[in-house]
Structure formats: C-alpha cells, structure tokens
Amino acid sequence: METLANFINGKYCPPVNQRYIDNMEPATGLVYGQIPNSDADDLELAITAAEMALPAWRELALEQRADILVKIAQGIEDNLDKLALAEAIDNGKPISLAKSIDIPRAASNFKFFAHACSQFASEAHAMTNSAINYTLRQPIGIVGCISPWNLPLYLFTWKIAPALAAGNCVIAKPSEVTPKTAYLLGEICQQAGLPKGVLNILHGTGKNIGSVICAHPKVKAISFTGGTKTGAAIASQVASQFKKLSLELGGKNPALIFADCDFDSTLNEVFRASFANQGQICLCSSRLYIEHSVYDKFKAALVEKAKALIPQDPLLENSKMGAIVSLDHLNKIKHSIEQAKQAGGTILCGGEQVQLTGRCTQGYFLQPTLIENLANDALCNQEEIFGPMITLQPFDNDKQALTLANDSQYGLAATVWTNNLTRAHHFAEQLHTGIVWINCWLLRDLRTPFGGMKHSGLGREGGNEAMRFFTETKNVCIKY
C-alpha cells in the first residue's frame, strides 16, 4: 500500500489533518493506496509557499523559465514507463494508450509552452494623432488548476504548463480518482530545478480541497476541467470575486456519417472515436448519425468491430480496452443502458458487465455497447454518459442531420465524414460546437483554440488562448 503526499514548497508533505482517502485500482476493484484528504490548512501552506516564490518566478528571464519547463518535459519522457504504468493502474486505461498518448502528450504540453512563453507577443496600436498603445500581458499571480480523471497527467499538465510559462505560481489539484501521476510530477519538477513553491500539488476531494482552492481570495484565476454540474457550481461560487475562469466541461459529441465518405477509414476512426479510453474522453463521439442509404452497412460493420473488442487487463501490452474508472461510474453507465432499454432502444451489441479472471476478477469491465431506435430526445441522447455506450440514428438529408446534431445542450466537438467539400464547409460553419473535425478525430495541434460552446464550457485553452488566459491584460497609451 502506497501513501501519497501533497507537494508543497518543493517537498512532499503529509496532510495537516493526517486524514487519507482510499485509492482504488479499477481493474481489480481493490484499494491499493491512500491519498491525502487535504483541506484549508494545506491550502494555506501552499498559498504561503506560492506567495514567497512568486516575485522571483515572475521576474525570471524567459529563457530560464523555458529551460526549466523543457527539463520537466525531459523528466516526463525519461520516466515514460513508470508514469504509464502508474496511469494504467490508477485509471484502468490500456497501458499501450498511456505509453503512446497520455504520457508523451504530457511531455509535449511542457515543451510546447516552454517555447510559447518565449514567443508570446503582445499587440501595439498606433493612432493617427501622435499616440501609440501597447498591450502588456503580465502574470496574474497565484492561479488554481483543477483536473479530472479521464486523461490524468495529460490534462493536468495542459493547465499547469501554460500557467507556469506565463509566470504564475500554481496550486494544482488532480482528481482524487487518479492522483498517482500528478504525485510523481512533483519529484520530476524538483529534479528539473523548478524553484520551490512555484508549483504546489494538493490531493483530495472536490468538496474538501477543490472548492476551497476556488474560494480562496489569493487564488486569482481558476482553470477547471470536469463535469458541467461541477463547472456551474464553481462559476457561481467565484462569481462574486470576479475571478478569471476557464471551464472545460462535458460533451455529447455527434458524428455525422455521409454515404459519400471513405467507408473503411471512416469506420476505423468512428470506432476509435467511440471507444478509445473506454469512451471516457470528453471528445469521444457518443451520437452517431448515419445517412440512410449507408446505415445498415455501416451499422453491421461497426457491430462486428465492437464485438471483437474484448475488455482485458489494462496492464497487458496487447489490451485495447481496459476498465471503467470506478464502481460508481460503472453503475452510472449500466443505469443509462437500462434507461435506453426502457425508452425502446435496441441493444445491437454489448450492454453487459464483464467478469475477467485472475487478478481482475473484481474489476469494473463493460462490453462496448451500441444502441439504436432511440428518439433524439431520449435521455441517452441528451445526457453525457462518458462511457463505451454509443447510439446510432439514421438521417435522410443534410438539414435533418444538422438539426439532430445541434439538438443538444452541449457543444464541445463534432466530426463530419464526407468527401463533399461544400457540405464539409457548410457543416463546419453551422455546427454549434467549439471544435469540428472533418474526416478525422482527435487530430490535435496544440496552437489551436480548444474548448466548447453552450454547456460544454467557457473560454478556450491551447496556444495563445491559454497564454492570454493566464495573463492579465493592460493597455498603455502614450502621447508623443
């Protein structure tokens, strides 16, 4: 049993209250460690450390700041196997996915923002009457970064890296469901020479430490990724303090599959978009709209692939589908499958929990599930389920496809599969989502704006958007 600690002022320390919560391994259903159940006392220590560290960090030459961030990236790469194993145990994701996507991307986040901080420019606006304006973008001070369990280190670093690059000190909280790689990041930062107090990592629940970070008057901005309900709670909690707030929230992403698509590559990518990470990526497609003339063929091919995707121990190198992250989450998805059946949905494949043998006997495994015959206003087509449970609906024409896709409170990402260039542009313009992928999914360029519309969030991350979020803007006007 491993006991994790907070990372405050450059060193690991136990929670002041000496209280801990269990850390479960989803593939075994067993407790395998303890994490601090931190509270306001730990936050005060972190705030003090961050206040001490801030003046030197914000004044550090950009080149030196960038050097340290590059060294952190290098440290992540050097520890790839260790971090990937920790992520697979903590989250239940296939170890091959952690090795090829999650951990390399965490390193890329630090590398990208190391370069971004030295290239981030501000604007100047010359006036005709002998005056010029220039814009200063200065560090905000102490900022809070709160992340979810689905892509633990990937999303944790996606916030921390730009916050540090912009010259802030950070109080960061990973999900209590997947704390291990965030814990290991502390040591990597120490070894990279990050000055003490610049990054402080606090573990624990949303209630005991997450909301306390959000409420603290010395935390001037909050970057949050997680569920829409939590985002709404944070927004109302901090509204009266006028904090800067970035919210990356839930999604219910449509995939629009037209008869003129490249059938085989569309099938492979839509399948990946549906079930990658057990369907637990905010960008996963969960509503598939398929043109009538190709519906039966596409459905049959998708069902065949889904039946061949067998959940396995995530620690096996050849595992393609691991465990659902927690028992609560597994039960939530199973409940949604029951709801779908009651609403008249037809289960095309899957729908059942899977019991593995050996060390995974008590793990949380679920078959990939495809469902049809549900109305678009059925709960399963409207609420985020965040698991390997996908619905299929046919459509007759472009207008109907667009109406169905936009009929959602969410607006994170959409994919469009067509070889008709005019249609592709039309849908890109008309879809109510922050991200549209045409003939691809999860093809990421870290310079692009990332985020959602409607109940999927507020603000954008990525590239200059993140650098702008983590800085305070000041206009200076000079008359000469």
Q: Are 209 and 173 in contact (CB under 8 A)?
A: yes
Q: Distance between terminal CA atoms of the chain?
A: 68
Residue placing its CB nearer to ligand NAD in the complex, 136 or 232: 232
Taking every pair of C-alpha atoms in the chain, what is the biggest distance, in angstroms? Answer: 79
Identify the active-site residue in 189, 214, 261, 282: 282
DSSP 239: G
What is the SS3 assignment for 267?
Answer: helix
- Angle of helix 398-406 versus helix 421-430 axis, rounded to 10: 30
Q: Which residue has the tokens 């206009």?
A: 475
Instruction: Please indicate whether residue 59 is annotated as part of the active site.
Output: no
| Residues at the contact surface with ligand NAD, assessed by CB under 6 A | 146-150, 155, 173, 175-176, 205-206, 210-211, 214, 225-227, 230, 233-234, 248-251, 282, 384, 386, 412, 452, 456-457
Structure tokens at 471: 């800085």
- Residue placing its CB nearer to ligand NAD in the complex, 230 or 408: 230
Query: Is 261 among the catalytic positions?
Result: no
The residue with its CB nearest to ligand NAD is 206
Q: Which of 228, 146, 230 minimizes the C-alpha distance to 455?
A: 228
| 471 Rama sector, left if φ>0, alpha if ψ -120 to 50, beta otherwise | beta
Q: Tell me which H or E stretch contains 32.
A: strand 30-36
Cβ 381 to ligand NAD shortest distance, Å: 16
Strand 30-36 versus strand 410-411 pairing type: unpaired
> Residue 203 Cβ, how far from ligand NAD at the closest point, in Å?
9
Q: Is 363 within 8 Å of 385 (Cβ atoms)? A: no
- Closer residue to ligand NAD in complex, CB, 141/227: 227
Work out how close the CB of 476 gets to ligand NAD at its nearest, in angstroms, rounded to a whole number.
34
SS3 of residue 273 by DSSP: helix
| Closest CB to ligand NAD among residues 178, 312 | 178
Q: Whole-angstrom Cα distance, residue 90 to residue 160? A: 20
- Closest to ligand NAD by CB, 301 or 330: 330
Smallest gap from Cβ 277 to ligand NAD, in A, equals 10
Closer residue to ligand NAD in complex, CB, 247/270: 247
Smallest distance, Å, CB 472 to ligand NAD?
Answer: 22
Query: Measured from the CB of residue 292, what is the shortest distance to ligand NAD in angstroms?
Result: 30
Distances (CA, A) of 162 to 188, 288, 467: 17, 34, 6
Catalytic residue among 25, 87, 176, 248: 248
Tokens of 145: 């970064």
Active site residues: 248, 282
